[in-house]
């Protein structure tokens, strides 16, 4: 039987250490370059091909085209799971994963984002 308390030296050393956490929301970490936040969409290059919709497992993106050639691209960040597949599948780089991660809101429309443009 040995004396309990093997980590006493470590514990006393820890007393002098800085906090291990940042005090959010006062301080914030900077996100790494590859961080995948909310999807950012640019209507210019979009061709309305619908590949992003097709490969979105969460059904967060819907692409609709009407008879007059108007394309409506809509995105629901509340459904999105930030996998980044839409960015990868889009042939024209119209979609980029952004850095925004503070996405909480209390009303549903705030999550939805929609663009209508002519193609």
Partner 1 sequence: MSEKASGTEIPVGPQHPSLKEPANFTLTVDGEVITGAQMKLSYNHRGIEQAVLSKSYIEAIYLLERICGICSHAHTSAFTQGVEELLDLEVPPRARYIRTLIGELERIHSHMLWLGVAGHEIGFDTLWQYAWRDREIVMDLLEEITGNRVHYSINTIGGVREDLTDEHCETILEGMDDLAERIDFYQETVPNEETVRMRCEDVGVVPEDLAREYCAVGAVGRASGVPTDVRKDAPYAAYDDVDFDVITDDRGDLLARTVVRIGEIAQAIRIIRQVAKRIPEGDLKASAKPPQALLAQVPEDDVVSRYEAPRGELIHYVRADGTDTPARVHIRVPTLANWPTVVESLKGSYIADTPIVVAGIDPCISCTSRIGVETDGNHGGENAFDLDELREYGIEWYDDRSDVERPSLDGDERTVSGGTRGDRA
Partner 2 sequence: MSLELDLATGLLYLLVFPGFAFLFVYGLTAEYLDRKLYARLQNRVGPPVVQPLADFLKLLAKESAVPEDATARIYNAAPWTGLAGVFTAMLYVPVWSEQAAFAFEGDLVVVLFLLSLPSFSLFFGGWYSGNVFSRIGTTRTITQLFGYEIPFFLACFAPAVAAGTLSTSGIVAFVEANPLYVFVLLPAFAIALLSLQAKLERIPFDIPEAETELATGALVEYSGRKLALFRLTKDVELVVGAALLSALFLGGPAPAGAIEGSVGLVAGVVVFFVKTLTVIALLTVLKAVVARLRIEQMVDVFYRVLVPVALVQIALVLAVGLYTNGVIP
Contacts with partner 2, residue ranges (CB under 8 A): 4-8, 11-12, 14-15, 17, 19-21, 23
Taking the complex as a whole, how short is the minimal distance between the CB of residue 103 and partner 2, in angstroms?
26
Q: From the CB of 21, what's the least distance to partner 2, in Å?
A: 7
Query: x/- string (CB under 6 A) for ligand SF4, residues 77-96?
Result: ---xxxxxxx--xxxx-xx-
Q: Which does 80 bind (CB under 5 to 8 A by kind): ligand SF4, partner 1, partner 2, none?
A: ligand SF4
**96 interacts with, out of partner 2, ligand SF4, partner 1, none, CB within 5 to 8 A per kind:** none
**Given 3-state DSSP classes, what are the helix, strand and coil percentages for the chain, each rounded to the nearest 5?**
20, 20, 60
Decide: 94 and 45 in contact? Cβ < 8 Å.
yes
Shortest distance (Å) from residue 31 CB to ligand SF4: 16
Q: Token pair for residue 41?
A: 């969409």
- The CB-of-19 to partner 2 minimum distance in angstroms stands at 5
Token match 């108007």: residue?
Answer: 70
Instruction: Name the nearest CA neighbour of 39 among 97, 85, 82.
Output: 97
Torsion-angle region of residue 39: left (phi > 0), alpha (psi -120 to 50) or beta? beta
Question: How far is the C-alpha of 88 from the C-alpha of 44, rounded, in Å?
Answer: 18
List contacts with ligand SF4 (CB under 6 A). 39, 46-52, 56, 58, 60-61, 63, 80-86, 89-92, 94-95
């Amino acid at each position: 039987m040995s004396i309990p308390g093997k980590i006493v030296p470590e514990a006393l050393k820890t007393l002098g250490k800085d906090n291990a956490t940042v005090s959010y929301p006062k301080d914030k970490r900077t996100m790494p370059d590859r961080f995948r936040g909310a999807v950012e969409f640019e209507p210019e290059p979009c061709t309305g091909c619908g590949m992003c919709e097709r490969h979105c497992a969460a059904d967060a993106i819907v692409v609709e085209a009407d008879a007059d050639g108007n394309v409506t691209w809509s995105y629901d960040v509340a459904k999105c799971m930030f996998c980044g597949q839409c960015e990868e599948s889009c042939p024209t780089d119209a979609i980029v994963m952004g850095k925004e991660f503070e996405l909480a809101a209390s009303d549903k429309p705030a999550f939805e984002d929609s663009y209508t443009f002519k193609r």
